[in-house]
Every structure is written in C-alpha cells, then in structure tokens.
A and B are shown apart, each in its own frame.
Chain A
Amino acid sequence: MNTPAPANPFEQLAYNIALQIQDGMIVYVGTGLPMVGAMLAKKTHAPHITLVYESGGQDPWEGPMPWSVGGAATFRRAPMSMEMALSFAMAANGYVDISFQGAAQIDMYGNLNTHLIGGDFHNFKARLTGSGGGNDLSSLSETFVLVGLQDPSKFPAKLDFMTSPGFLTGGNSRMEAGLLGKGPQSVVTQIGVMDFEPESKRMRIKGLNPYCTTEIAQVCTGFELLVPEKVEEIPAPPADILEVLRTEVDPHKIFIEFPPRVK
C-alpha cells in the first residue's frame, strides 16, 4: 500500500472523536463530524457500540452514513424506532453512555450556546437554530463530548446565550442545579483534546494534535486554559485507520474534505 496523504484537520478531528468512544457503549449521535467519528470507532476499535439517534432510530443495520439525524440510514432495518420523548428518556434513565455536541460558542466550563451570536436575544449579529436536542443531551447523558473548531470568538469568556449546560459555574454547581450525569468529559477541536479539571471544572489541555503547542491552543481560546504538568502528544491517525475513514466511512468526502466544499 502506498503511504496515504497525511490526515487533514477534519480527519484528525474525526479520529480524535472516535477515540473518545469505548467499545460497548451506547452512543447518541448528531450530524456532521461526530457521526463520522462514531462510524469510524465502530469500524475500528469499538465494533460493539450501539448508535441511537434523536429522531428515534435505534441500532440501524450497517450501511451508508446518514446525512441527517432523521435520514433513512438512522432507521435502516432497525429493530424498532422510538418516539422522540422516549429517545431522550433513554438518556435520563441511564441508557446513553456518551453523546456529542457542536456549538457556536463554548465557555471554560463547557456550557454551550446554539442560540445567537453577537449581542442579546433581540439584537444580534446572527440568530442560530436554538437548542434542538442539545440541551436535553447535555442535561441527561452520562457524559458528553463537545466538538468544534477552536478560536477566541467560538471559545469566549462569556457566552452570548447559555443554551445547554456543561459545568455551569464550575465546582459542584452542575449537580446542585439538579442536572443528571457527569457533565462533559472532553472538548475535541482542531487543536487537540481538552478535559475539565476535576475540582474547579475548568477547561484544561489534555493532549495536542501534531504540530500544535500550548501557545497555539491559548491563542485560539478567549479564556485562560489550564495546562497540566504533562501534556499528551496525540498521534496522527495510523494509515490503516485513515484508509477506513476515507474509503468506508465517508467515501464521498461529505464531512472530511478540507477545505470544506460548502460554506
């Protein structure tokens, strides 16, 4: 086999997302790169995971990657599908081990904004979609992973609107608010992987992608990142995993083309 082209930032991101998933988990997936990461995990190190979707699709038969969380691939020959209220009830009742969230803004405690950017509720630069299932998954899943492209405007000191809870104001505030689950376990971006310091619940660098440094990570962030004594070096995806990603998971390069086709 020829040496494949090195991973582009989206491919590295998909690989890092995949590594957040352990074999045997029930994984609640949304559209986009988390879907790519989950499919990659299932085809590599975590073949026994079960994928569930917000529209109610459960454990679809292997096939093409869904374009939408309501798409046919999410309920392809599925044993059953669930009503939306039940699909979130599964998370509340402890049957969702991990979920993934994208956001327009993420703060140092892993709280999320998918409502608006630049201003307030009535006067903004852009109004966005709203919560969708984001608030539910953040409130109910046992843990979740935040996924995004990191820059100071997307990782601000203060959110323009708090749609979904991470660790709220840090410390024990999430638990005291009555929310379920352990809160976000990590943040996966083009820079690397961050976790949350166990006491303060503040965002902390865990590992950096190849060619990234703590200085680059800090420059890309609108608040101070905690830096542990030892920062892990995240490896580039091995050739065989890249091959699976490019030929089996996203062969039409819908999500992993860089720069992206649309936008």
Chain B
Amino acid sequence: MAAKFFYNEEALENLKIADPSILDSLIDHETHRENNLKKSRLKEDKRMSLHDAVAKYVDDGDVVADSGFSYVRTPLQAHFEIWRQGKKNLSYVGSPNTNQSFGIFMGNVTGSHNSYCGAEMRGTDRHFSRAVKSGKTKILSEWSHGSMALGFKAAQYGEPYVASHQLLGTDMVRYNPYVKEVKDPWTGKPVILIPALHPDVCIIHCQQADMYGNGKILGPAVNDIAVAFASRKVIITCEEVVPELSIRFDNSNTVIPFMIVDAVVELPFGCLPGSCPGYYYWSREWWEWCMRIATKDDVCLEDFMKNWVYSCKNQYDFVDRLAKDMGGMAYIDSLRRMQRAEEYLIEDTGVDFTYETVIPKWE
C-alpha cells in the first residue's frame, strides 16, 4: 500500500521497512481531527469495566501508548487486560516504553517505536533483545525520550511538527523514518524536525477522576498530559472515581478535561506491580524476578507471564497472588507505607525500606 506521507528513505532501508504505510497513523493529524470531531460532546457517565473499555477502545493494529514512567503510575493492569484479550498486531509507543516487551512476548505487539526498553538498575531486558533479533517485533523508529516527548507536545498543541536540537549528528536520525534534518530558516543551522505524534489509543492512570473523565494526576505527569491530547482514543483508569464537585472545589492537579476522554475505569491497584504516587510503592521483588530471572529465557518468561497475567482475571487476583508470595496483607500495606513515607506524606522514620535480593523460589 502506498504510504500517505514522505519518510526518510535511508531510515526505511536501515530498518528494513518494506511497507511504509504502517508508519502513517502515528503522524496522521487529519484522521486524528476527524476522529475527535465525531466524539460525543455530552458530559455523560463514561464509567465501564476494564474489560469493556479494552474490548471497545483497543483495536487490533492500534498504536498503543505506554504511559507513566515504566513502573510509575503506569496502568500495568490495563495492559495485562489488553494482552489477555488477545489484541493483535499492536505497536507500542512511549517514553519510556519498557512494558512493550511483555506484550511482544505474549504475541500481541509486533511493532515498536522505541525509546527505552529496560528497568534501570533492575537490568537490561534480555527478552527484548531476543525478540528484536528474531523479528518477533520490528523496530519501526528509534527515539530519545526528549524528542518523542516533543512529538507528543506538538500533537497536544495541534502543531504539525516542532524543531529541536536533539538527535543531530548521531545514528538516531538514520534509524527514525519520521524525523528530518533541515536548516533553521532563521539561523541557517541544522535542526531536527519532529512530527506531531498521534497514538491510536492511550490508557492514562489518574489518582482521581470524575465519571465524565476530568482527571487528576499527582506526582510527575511525565508525557501523559500531552499523550492524552495527542491520542485518538483515551481511556482513563483511576484509583478512585470522585464526585464532580470534589474536582470543582479543588481543581489543582486536574490535567485531563472530560471532552477528550472515551472511558473511565475505576481500577484500584491498577498500577501494580508498579507504583502509584500517593497510594502504593512498586513491588521491587516482582521487578527483580521479572527482569533478572524471568527474562533469562522464554520458558521462564512463559511461566512468569502465565502466573502473573494469563491466570489472573483482574487486578485483585494479581494482588492476592503477590500477597500470598510476599507475606500477606502486611506486604500490601508496606507498599502503601513505603510510597507515602518516601514522598514524606507520612513520617518516614520507622518505615522499613530494607530490601533483600530475590533468591528465586521457582525457575
């Protein structure tokens, strides 16, 4: 199929992309606007179950945004639901986009607009490495965090592109078919043009939202404000659905307006095994199992994902399982206390942060 837009030929060749039309939707402002013009204008109750929101708003072939910051306010339980429902041929985009790796493993994700896939000191992701090499996923574009962040910002502002000082002079421009190096018309110096980026669907976890979709984010918003405005379909998951009046009385931290939101899902513990500012800490043990032990080979990872994703029907199953392995309600409560203590919302002296390296109980 002929591509709708002009891409960097060298990058297409370097990335071995035979059919560049697969790149179109991410930068297609025309369809973004058409889509938005059709959205309901009514302030109506948009609450639904996670199952229904994913079934209705995540389609095969979508470009899905990874939101939050890898394991900070990322609605991991919603991504688990996408994979459980067997959505196919998805691409993931996001800065970072650590969580694409598990969707790739489960066979749902076949394309990657990559910026960073890993978990910092928890280690590099050996599964992602195998998947890229074997072609299980295809890298469609390489980004830095900041350049992708600018692409989302351009989209939020309704601009076709922004000019930036990133990516210049490196191999990055040779492996990103979207960006273009041009001369700044005022200074004559080289700059990189970054097109507005429009994911098909994003799921943003808010600590609080009302039933219409007005959403509050506490702690770093990372790219989520821009991503919400940039995406065609917007699902809000939240720890609590609060009365509209509570948002009107205190509108601080309200960053998402109802009119861009398609669905509101009340999803307590929706970010576990990651953290949610104000609510709970990440499960360090889970991430260590995952990155250091389970990604070692496909058999381990299969076992791990079966246990934590496929055989859980919702987030409460996941929490029950985590509690069972880690010491019951005391562990779940320690996650709450550690998060709030590290943020200094509660007295932090006396809260135990010690951590023992995980010794695998099962391989």
Using CB atoms and an 8 Å cutoff, list the residues of chain A in contact with chain B.
Answer: 31-32, 54-57, 61, 63-64, 67-77, 81-85, 88, 92, 111, 115, 121-124, 126-136, 139-140, 161-165, 168, 173-174, 177-180, 252, 254-255, 261-263
Contacts and interface: CB of A to CB of B under 8 A. Distances in A.
B277 A262 contact: no
A124 to B, nearest CB: 7
Contacts of A124: 129, 133
B251 interface: no
B222 A84 contact: yes
Given A55-B72, A70-B71, A131-B116, 15 more contacts: A32-B120, A57-B220, A63-B342, A68-B120, A71-B342, A77-B344, A84-B146, A124-B133, A131-B145, A132-B145, A133-B116, A163-B170, A163-B171, A173-B169, A178-B184
A143 to B, nearest CB: 15
**Chain B interface residue bracket vs A:** 35 or more
Contacts, number: 201
A64 B150 CA distance: 31
B354 A85 contact: no
A199 B282 CA distance: 48
Contact of A130 (B121, B142, B219, B355): B142
A262 B344 contact: no
A31 B170 contact: no
Interface in B102-124: 114-118, 120-121, 123-124
B283 to A, nearest CB: 12
A68 B71 CA distance: 10
Contacts of A32: 120-121
B220 A72 contact: no
B12 to A, nearest CB: 13
Given A136-B146, A179-B165, A76 B124 contact: no
A178 B182 CA distance: 11
B172 interface: yes
A133 B133 contact: no
Contact of A133 (B70, B117, B145): B145
A134 B191 contact: no
Contacts of A180: 165
A69 B281 CA distance: 14
Nearest to A167: B169
Contacts of B354: 252
Greatest chain A CB density within 10 A among B16, B139, B191, B288 is at B139
